[in-house]
Amino acid sequence: MIKNLPDYLGYPKILNLKEIPEINNQFVYVIKDYGDKGYGSLIYRSDDNVYIRFGDFNGNLIDVGSKNNKHVSIFTTKYIPKILDLMKTARINQAIYYFTGSKDDVTLIDMRMSLNKFTGPGMLRDLFSKIIPTQEVIKTVSLNADTINAINAGTGSFSGNIILKTSAFKTITRSVDGKQHMLPMYARIKR
């Protein structure tokens, strides 16, 4: 057992488009909304040992041995061996993999490399889409005034609930509960 196993961190809150004016004029991925409930797996490799912690989006740890969770079980048995191989090849020592569950599978929606660093949506898709289902990318666009008008109108590929993520990962600083927090520059549009 290691003394300083990294903490599992919950998934950050995604703000709405009006709360993030900094996202204007950015190149973004338009992603089908995956909801605000899900799980994460902190995987830490040290020498020849692997340590894994699971939690929910709120940051609560999940005891895999005592809690029957279908999606955590699917992620563990079906995908962790493949992810570990990729981590070894890419020399990634630690990451938190966030995923949501569907009826019979899970979808990888984000990867946190450190406290305030996530992979971009393109990198997530490029690295992992051959080994695990990844978030559904609808399209990539420049977020200009015309695009924002189309998003607000909810027409075409902007219909339904969507999430916007900058192509190159960026953060914003916001006050939450009286404390300053760095959040990913993600925006959620709910209809």
pLDDT for residue 3: 66
Beta bridge partners of 28: 141, 166
Quick one: how many helices (H) and strands (E) in the chain? Answer: 4, 13
CA atoms of 154 and 150, how far apart (whole Å)? 6
pLDDT digits (tens, 9 = 90+) for 116-129: 899 999 999 999 99
Q: Helices 121-128 and 80-90 sit at what angle, rounded to 10 degrees?
A: 110
Q: Give the residue ranges of the chain where pLDDT is below 70.
A: 1-3, 65-67
pLDDT digits (tens, 9 = 90+) for 131-145: 999 999 999 999 999
CA atoms of 7 and 51, how far apart (whole Å)? 11
**CA 147 → CA 25, 152, 157, distances in Å?**
10, 9, 11
pLDDT for residue 66: 58
Q: Are 57 and 36 in contact (CB under 8 A)?
A: yes
94-101 and 106-114 strand pairing: antiparallel
Q: Are 55 and 61 in contact (CB under 8 A)?
A: yes
Percent of the chain with pLDDT over 70: 97
pLDDT for residue 1: 54
pLDDT for residue 21: 94
CA 126 to chain centre: 14
